């Protein structure tokens, strides 16, 4: 059988791609490796969050009822401040793009300006996230945790544009102080000489007495009904749940209890937003270092602003991650 051999004209020649076919420096390549590995880490966190969210979808806190605060303003503004934080971070990514572009044109003045604006945007975001954490930890209204770990919230129906809406009420507004002999165990008098966690501001009995004295107040549990709202109990069932199942008064949220609903929500909130916030904080610190190098003319003397571009890759990454966190944690 005859065999046909095609000649390509490259016989005996080595590949002409060079040692760096992608044209990327070592530092930039390492930054890409870091970004890919970190993206896998965040993907794992968000996947775990999604699994837990849909496993407990019938009792997961409603984000519009949790993130309702705006600094210096009193009222109910669902997701407004989180949207503002997102806008600030996205705009800081835009200024970083402009800084990198100015570096390509060796324009020191513009690189300095846009790096400074990027730092300001990142600092505002980190500060806003710290404020959001503090507000979340402090809590709004308080609640009662049952023996089974469910959260019972309090409120009353009010007329809003001719429609009855359930409005949350703080336990501070109706709890009735009751003389209680319960004292906090300290190391000197505690069991096994171990300090006890601080006692709640109110006891379940004080909440029950206040609920009993205010017939307009009802209890709402964390189970979401067909209308997508939490289930409001009848007056009789409200009193029964607090009296028979009430175990602990909680206010705010931490890694153990959460007045807004299941404690898993608080766990993921602190872990995911905290991990991302650490990345943003680190980025701000690195940006400050690069900013001063730009001001001192370090990269001008080198004839390249590649360091600005490397930091820009990292900054765009944390910006992109926040878009996913914002979408899956706050919006969905």
Q: Which CATH architecture has domain 26-140+264-331?
A: Up-down Bundle (1.20)
- Whole-number pLDDT of residue 40: 96
pLDDT of residue 21: 55
Q: What's the pLDDT tens digit per position in 227-278?
A: 888 899 999 999 999 999 999 999 999 998 999 999 999 999 999 999 999 9
- Pure H helices in 74-146: 80-104, 108-138
**Per-residue pLDDT at 285 exceeds 60:** yes
| Domain ranges (residues) in the chain | 26-140+264-331, 143-251
Q: How confident is the model at residue 118 (pLDDT cuts 50, 70, 90)?
A: very high
CA distance 231 to 210: 21
Residue 154, helix vs strand vs coil: strand
Residue-wise pLDDT tens digits, 148-195:
889 999 999 998 888 888 999 999 999 888 766 555 556 665 555 555
Q: Hey, what's the torsion of the CAs at 137, 140, 143, 149, to 10 degrees? A: -30
**Distance between CA atoms of residues 230 and 221, nearest Å:** 6
Chain segment 121-144, per-residue pLDDT in tens: 999 999 999 999 999 999 989 999
Taking residues 26-41, what's their average pLDDT?
92
pLDDT (tens digit per residue) in 65-78: 899 999 988 888 99
- Residue percentage of the chain with pLDDT more than 70: 87
What is the distance between the alpha carbons of residues 28 and 213, in angstroms, rounded to a whole number?
67
Confidence at residue 182, expressed as pLDDT on a 0 to 100 scale: 55
Residue 98: closest CA among 322, 325, 309? 309
Across the range 107-127, mean pLDDT stands at 97
- Identify any residues that bridge with 145 across adjacent strands, giving them in sequence order: 151, 248
- The residue ranking higher by pLDDT, 327 or 160, is 327
Burial code (b: 16+ CB inside 10 Å, e: under 16) for 9-36 equals: eeeeeeeeeeeeeeeeeeeeeebeeebe
Q: How many CB atoms lie within 10 A of CB 215?
A: 10
The whole-number average pLDDT for the span 188-207 is 68
Q: What is the DSSP string of 52-73?
A: HHHHTTTTPPPHHHHS--BTTB
Predicted pLDDT of residue 224? 86
- Would you say residue 24 has pLDDT above 90? no
Structure-model confidence comparison of residues 35 and 161, the more confident one = 35
pLDDT of residue 191: 53
Does residue 281 have a pLDDT over 90? Answer: yes
């Amino acid at each position: 059988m005859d065999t046909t051999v095609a000649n390509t004209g490259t016989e005996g020649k080595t590949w002409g791609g060079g040692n760096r076919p992608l044209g990327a420096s070592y530092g930039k390549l390492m930054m890409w490796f870091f970004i890919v590995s970190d993206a896998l880490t965040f993907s794992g966190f968000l996947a775990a969050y999604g699994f837990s969210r849909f496993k407990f979808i019938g009792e997961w806190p409603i984000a519009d009822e949790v993130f309702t605060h705006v600094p210096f303003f009193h009222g109910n503004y669902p997701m407004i401040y989180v949207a503002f934080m997102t806008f600030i971070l996205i705009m800081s990514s835009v200024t970083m793009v402009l800084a990198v572009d100015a570096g390509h044109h060796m324009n020191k003045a513009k690189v300095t300006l846009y790096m400074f604006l990027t730092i300001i945007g990142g600092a505002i975001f980190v500060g806003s996230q710290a404020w959001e954490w503090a507000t979340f930890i402090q809590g709004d209204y308080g609640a009662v945790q049952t023996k089974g770990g469910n959260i019972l919230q309090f409120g009353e129906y009010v007329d809003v544009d001719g429609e009855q809406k359930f409005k949350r009420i703080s336990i501070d507004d109706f709890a009735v102080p009751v003389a209680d002999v319960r004292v906090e165990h300290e190391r000197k008098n505690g069991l096994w000489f171990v300090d006890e966690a601080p006692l709640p501001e109110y006891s379940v009995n004080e909440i029950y007495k206040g609920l009993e004295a205010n017939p307009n107040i009802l209890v709402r549990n964390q189970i979401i009904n067909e209308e997508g709202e939490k289930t409001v109990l009848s007056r009789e069932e409200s009193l029964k749940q607090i009296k028979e199942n009430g175990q602990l008064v909680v206010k705010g949220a931490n890694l153990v209890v959460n007045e807004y609903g299941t404690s898993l929500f608080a766990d993921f909130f602190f872990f995911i937003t905290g991990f991302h916030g650490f990345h943003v904080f680190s980025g701000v610190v690195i940006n400050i270092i690069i900013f001063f190098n730009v001001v001192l003319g370090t990269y001008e003397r080198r004839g390249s602003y590649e360091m600005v571009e490397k930091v820009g890759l990292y900054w765009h990454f944390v910006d992109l991650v926040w878009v996913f966190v914002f979408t899956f944690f706050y919006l969905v």
